[in-house]
Structures are given as structure tokens and as C-alpha cells.
Amino acid sequence: MNIVSYLVKRFLRFDKEQPFIFLSALLAFSGIALGVMVLIIAMALMNGFDNEFKKKLTVMNYPLTIQPKFYGTCDTALLENLRTQFPDLSFSPYVTSAVLSRSGDQMEGGYLFGVDFAQEAKVNRIVAEGLKAGVPDTFQVMVGQTLKEQFMVEDGDKLTYIFTQMEPGGLALTPKIKRFEVVSTFNSGLSAYDKGFSYTSLESLQRILGIPENLYDGIHIHSSNPEADITRVAAVLPDTVSIRGWWEDNANFFAALKMEKMSLFIVLMLIILIAAIN
């Protein structure tokens, strides 16, 4: 016999002699059903919130990143080997430096990334969107919308970048300084990234920092399933480099989200239990 039909006939059948029992049973079943419905809706909302929050948080964070443990260990040979073994993944080498960007009397700290824009567009959709306005060439730069508005610069204007690397100058060491032409803009929707990140060509930054053409500060990887692919890639990497997932850089935050979801689940289960006992 169908369990639903049995329960309905056994407990929800109207009894003319004892109508109060029927009413009590109906209210009990309704309470339990309502509690289960609330639990399902609440957990669905929490899962949707988590997914959307992760999507927003990782808009400028790469799923996987390979970084060298020692200088010179992240090179072209490693990059080509990874591309051969994992044709389903996208790889973008980069070099980076902490900088101070300056326009007139305004200054802002941040990071300047040197990337191969053809490859970067495959791993970063925000940069790919910004490239529609123009691809930076030698000593040209793509800046964030927030920085552009703060400095009140337009495409074609010059921005001065002061690097943390030092070079001999007169009687003392002075930081390296280089002017870049603004040619395009990206907008991630997060002002901290739009203000702090800038992108130029890989060759330009390698030349300024004195890094050989075949060496990189790291390799960004795009993956639709980074939790599984991190194990695959790590298995073939030499001991001289390491690989990290974006969730490892935000572990405490996501642990707090998980605890919040578990707390909500327990509270709602207790409510359903009370309804069932009643």
C-alpha cells in the first residue's frame, strides 16, 4: 500500500464522533510540512547566497595559481609542459610588482601585473572585457575604473608608476620610476581591486624588473573544477614550485560561512522536531 495514502486514511480521516482529534492531527501534519518546507527554502537560499558570494569574491581571484619556491623555477619549460599535459585547462604566466601609481599630486598603492593578454583573457573574464577597448602594448597599461576616476585620467593620458625595486641614482639608491600610457579600463565591481590592480604587457614589466623572458613570478590557471584539478596538476609539478587554490587564501571566511549554514540547519531541525512532538 502507498505510504502516503495509508497515512492520510489512518490519521487525516474526518471522524464525526471526535472532530478535535482530526483537527489536532491536521495541525500537526501541517506544522511538520511547513517546517520541512521552511528548512528546504532556507537551505536553498543559503546555498544560493554561498554560490553568488563565491562568484563575486573570486571575480579577480584565479581558481589555481602556481608559484615558485625558488627564483628561476617557474619558467617557459614548465609552462609548455603543463599545456601539453592539461589541454583542457587555460594557463597565463605573469610577473608582478608592488607599485605606487601617481598622477599629479595624487598617489595610490597597488600591484602592477605583466601578462600575456591573449592568455590572460582566457583566465580572467574581467580583463577580457576590458581588452575590448584596447590591448596594452609596450609601456601601456590597463587600469581599474575606480583608479581612473580617482586620478581623473582618460585613455591616452600618462600614469607614473614607482616600483619597490631600487637602482643606483647619483649618491644613493632610488626606486625605479616609469610612465605608462593608459589605453583601456576594467571594472570588476570591487573598488579595492579596481583601485589596486593594473595590467601591462609581460615584456614591459620583465624589462623594467630585469627578469629574463623565460622566467615568471607565477602561472594563473583557469579551471571549471579547481578542487579536483589542483590534485591533478600538483601530481606532475616539480618540488621547486607550489600550487594554491583561491579557497585556500580565504579559508577562515568560508569556514565561517559553513558554520553559519550548519547553525541554521540545526535550528530549523529543532523547530521541526518540536512541531513533530506537538
Q: 121 and 206: one domain?
A: yes
Instruction: Mark whether 168 and 272 lie in a shared domain.
Output: no
User: What does the alpha-carbon distance between residue 40 and residue 165 come to, in Å, rounded to a whole number?
Assistant: 55
Beta bridge partners, 218, equal: 94
Overall domain count for the chain:
2
Q: Domain range spanning residue 39? A: 3-57+253-277
Instruction: Classify residue 232: in a domain, yes or no.
Output: no
Q: 95 and 217 share a domain?
A: yes
DSSP string for residues in 22-68:
HHHHHHHHHHHHHHHHHHHHHHHHHHHHHHHHHHHHTTTS-SEEEEE
What is the residue type of 215? L
Which helix (H) or strand (E) segment holds residue 7: the answer is helix 3-11
**For the segment 218-230, what is each residue's pLDDT rounded down to a tens digit?**
999 999 888 899 9
Beta strands in 86-196 (DSSP E): 90-103, 106-115, 140-144, 158-169, 172-186
Say if 215 falls within a structural domain.
Answer: yes
- C-alpha distances in angstroms, 22 versus 26, 28, 195, 273? 6, 10, 65, 21
Distance from chain centroid for Cα 113: 17
Task: Quick: pLDDT tens for 30-54.
Answer: 777 787 788 788 888 888 877 777 7
Model pLDDT, residue 170:
67
Give residue 159's pLDDT band: very low, low, confident or very high (50, 70, 90).
very high
- Is residue 25 a part of any domain in this protein? yes
pLDDT band at 68 (very low <50, low <70, confident <90, very high): very high
Of the residues 207, 222, 237, the one at which a domain ends: 222
Residue 20 in any domain: the answer is yes
Burial call 69-78: b when 16+ CB within 10 Å, e when fewer:
eeeebbbeeb
pTM: 0.76
Where is the domain boundary, 204, 222, 240?
Answer: 222
